[in-house]
Amino acid sequence: MTAMTLARFTELASAYGARPERWPEDERAAALALLEGSPDARARLAEASRLDALLDGVPAVTPSPDLAARVLAAAPRRASVHRLPAPRPAQTRWLAPAALGMAAAAGLAVWLVRTPPQPTPLAADAVAQLGVFDVPTDDFLSALDLELDDDTPSFGCDDPTVGCPDADAEPARRSERSAGRKEISA
Amino acid sequence: MGERDEDLVARVARADHEACRRLVERHLDRIVAFAARVLGDRDEAHDVAQETFTRLWTHAASWRPGEARFTTWLFRVARNLCLDRLARRREVPLDAAPEPLDPGPTPAGRLDEARMRRRVAEELQALPERQRTALALCHYQGLAQAEAAAVMDVSVEALESLLARGRRTLHARLQTVAADVLERAR
């Protein structure tokens, strides 16, 4: 225990008053030890005690009787969390089935709009009407007086110096395959 | 010794109304008394106490036990609410003002007991807010130095200085009253 000086004792009494329980705990024993043998310390204590008495004469304000009830009225209450929901007013009860029906209709509309149309499978006779297009470009080229076997297509080329055939000349030949195809399609 | 405050706060976070009631039982009186000492107004002290507990109900779920003692937190909330009200009164900050001069003996003569208490209460209210709050926490509420300092967010040394200055001022202003107390004590 560190010895206490009168100066420090005076500071303690000036700040905390005369009651040892209000003094800092770690200095209390030393202050009490000084008080035992020091008349000056006792005089400081008496002075502080007079001010304590004046301060103690001012009574504390006590809460009004209803304050605790008001404070607790705003306090959380677990029971309210689990309370059953109150029944709905009668005039709104028809809203529930109506809302359910509207929700179902809306869901159906969304499904119809968002589902892609499924392709209809072709019937067998429809496939037959399309014919067999194993060399489908022949007829197209012959309609333009072009030959599939020509090295340089005359379509869009009219300069003989670069190898374009004379577009106005009579076709030199027709492929037998093309002629045969025309007969088939006819 | 009942359940610790901190455990009760944890129960408040779970909307345990009984825990709320026990905390109100333990601390409502102290908060009202403290706020009344700081504000000097009974009705405002009631409002502050009610708001302090409302904050507790709201913030119990975010309470971190290791950060501060519950009472420290509670008084700090109450003090901040008091400061808000004092600011609204447009109170001029007096903490930076020099120590008041000793006014000397008043010619009023002896005061009866009620008048004496009123005079002490008036002088308490005339103190700068921080000195008044320090006295309210340490002298009237009996908080330990470290806790009172934490409530006010100052060091223990600063708290001791506030207490000493406040008591010196009161001693100077109440000398006549003190003499009267001594006279009655004989």
CA of residue A120 relative to chain centroid, distance = 42
Pair B20, B12: CB distance under 8 Å: yes
> How far is it, in rounded angstroms, from Cα B178 to Cα B181?
5
Q: Which of B121, B64, B133, B63 is nearest to B93 (CA)?
A: B133
- Distance in angstroms between the alpha carbons of the first and the last residue of chain A: 128
CB of A148 within 8 Å of a chain B CB? The answer is: no
State the pLDDT at residue B122.
94
Per-residue pLDDT tens for A83-103? 444 444 444 445 555 566 666
> Which of B88, B103, B137 is at the close of a domain?
B88
Question: What pLDDT band is residue A119 in, cutting at 50, 70 and 90?
Answer: very low
B65, B131: one domain: no
Looking at per-residue pLDDT, the higher value among A17 and A130 belongs to A17
**Cβ contact B140–A60 (<8 Å):** yes
Q: Which single residue is written with the structure tokens 């102290």?
A: B30
Q: What does the angle CA A40 – CA A46 – CA A51 come to, to the nearest 5 degrees?
A: 135
B83, B15: one domain: yes
Q: Which single residue is written with the structure tokens 């007013």?
A: A89
State the pLDDT at residue B67.
77
**Cβ contact A57–B29 (<8 Å):** no
pLDDT greater than 60 at residue A173: no
- Domain-located, residue B104: no
- Domain-located, residue B99: no
- Domain-located, residue A86: no
Q: State yes or no: ipTM above 0.85.
A: no
The helix (H) or strand (E) run that includes residue B173 is: helix B156-173
Chain A residues within 8 A of B145 when measuring between CB atoms: 24
- Domain-located, residue A79: no
Q: How far is CA B130 from CA A26, A87, B37, in A?
A: 25, 55, 12
CB of A11 within 8 Å of a chain B CB? The answer is: yes
Per-residue pLDDT tens for B118-150? 999 999 999 999 999 999 999 999 999 999 999
- Domain-located, residue A161: yes
Find the domain containing A23 and state its range: 6-56
**Cβ contact B15–A60 (<8 Å):** no
Picking from A22, A25, A63, the nearest residue to B28 by CB comes out as: A63
CA of residue B173 relative to chain centroid, distance = 20
Residue B160, domain CATH: 1.10.10.10
Question: What pLDDT band is residue B101 in, cutting at 50, 70 and 90?
Answer: very low
Question: What pLDDT band is residue B152 in, cutting at 50, 70 and 90?
Answer: very high
- Per-residue pLDDT, averaged over B51-59, amounts to 97
State the Rg of chain B over Cα.
19
CB of A49 within 8 Å of a chain B CB? The answer is: no
Q: How many domains does chain A have?
A: 2
Q: How far is CA A48 from CA A42, B96, B125, B171, B180, in A?
A: 10, 25, 20, 9, 16
The rounded mean pLDDT for chain B is 87
Chain B residues within 8 A of A16 when measuring between CB atoms: 138, 160, 163
> How far is it, in rounded angstroms, from Cα B141 to Cα A101?
66
Per-residue pLDDT tens for B22-46? 999 999 999 999 999 999 999 999 9
Per-residue pLDDT tens for B155-169? 999 999 999 999 999
Q: What does the angle CA A164 – CA A168 – CA A170 come to, to the nearest 5 degrees?
A: 100
pLDDT greater than 70 at residue A161: no
- Per-residue pLDDT, averaged over A104-127, amounts to 55
Which of A10, A11, A72 has the highest number of chain B CBs within 10 A, making it the mutation to test binding with B?
A: A72
B79, B120: one domain: no
- Domain-located, residue A165: yes
B11, B77: one domain: yes
Q: How many domains does chain B have?
A: 2
- Domain-located, residue B108: no
- Domain-located, residue B107: no
Q: Which of A32, B186, A2 is nearest to A13 (CA)?
A: A32
Q: Give all strands (DSSP E) within A62-159, no chain letters.
A: none
Name the residue type at position B112.
D
Per-residue pLDDT tens for A137-159? 555 445 555 554 544 444 444 55
- Domain-located, residue B98: no
Find the domain containing B11 and state its range: 5-88
* Residue A80 token pair: 């309210």
